[in-house]
Chain A
Amino acid sequence: GQQLNQSPQSMFIQEGEDVSMNCTSSSIFNTWLWYKQDPGEGPVLLIALYKAGELTSNGRLTAQFGITRKDSFLNISASIPSDVGIYFCAGTFGNEKLTFGTGTRLTIIP
Chain B
Amino acid sequence: GAVVSQHPSWVICKSGTSVKIECRSLDFQATTMFWYRQFPKQSLMLMATSNEGSKATYEQGVEKDKFLINHASLTLSTLTVTSAHPEDSSFYICSARTPGTGGTDTQYFGPGTRLTVL
A-to-B contact residues, CB < 8 Å: 1, 3, 30-31, 33, 35, 40-45, 48, 50, 88, 90, 92, 94-95, 97-98, 100-103
By Cβ-Cβ distance, the 7 closest A-B pairs, closest first, are A42-B109, A42-B112, A42-B111, A43-B109, A100-B43, A42-B93, A42-B110
Q: Which residues of B contact A (CB under 8 A)?
A: 1, 4, 6, 32, 34, 43-46, 49, 59-60, 91, 93, 95, 97, 102-112, 114
- Residue of A3, A33, A98, A102 contacting most chain B CB atoms (<10 Å): A98
In whole angstroms, how far apart are the Cα atoms of A30 and B60 in the complex? 24
The number of residue pairs between A and B whose CB atoms lie closer than 8 Å in the complex comes to 60
Point out the residue from B34, B107, B110 that lies within 8 Å of A33, measured CB to CB.
B107
* Pair B6/A42 contact, Cβ less than 8 Å: yes
B112 contact set on A, CB distance < 8 A: 40-42
Do B104 and A45 touch across chains, with their CB atoms under 8 A apart?
A: no
Q: Is the interface of A mostly helix, strand, loop or mixed?
A: loop
Asked if A100 contacts B104 (CB within 8 A), the reply is no
Closest beta carbon of chain B to A79's beta carbon, Å: 22
Contacts of A35 in B (CB 8 A): 109
User: Given A88-B44, A97-B49, A98-B46, are A41 and B111 neighbors across the interface (CB < 8 Å)?
Assistant: yes
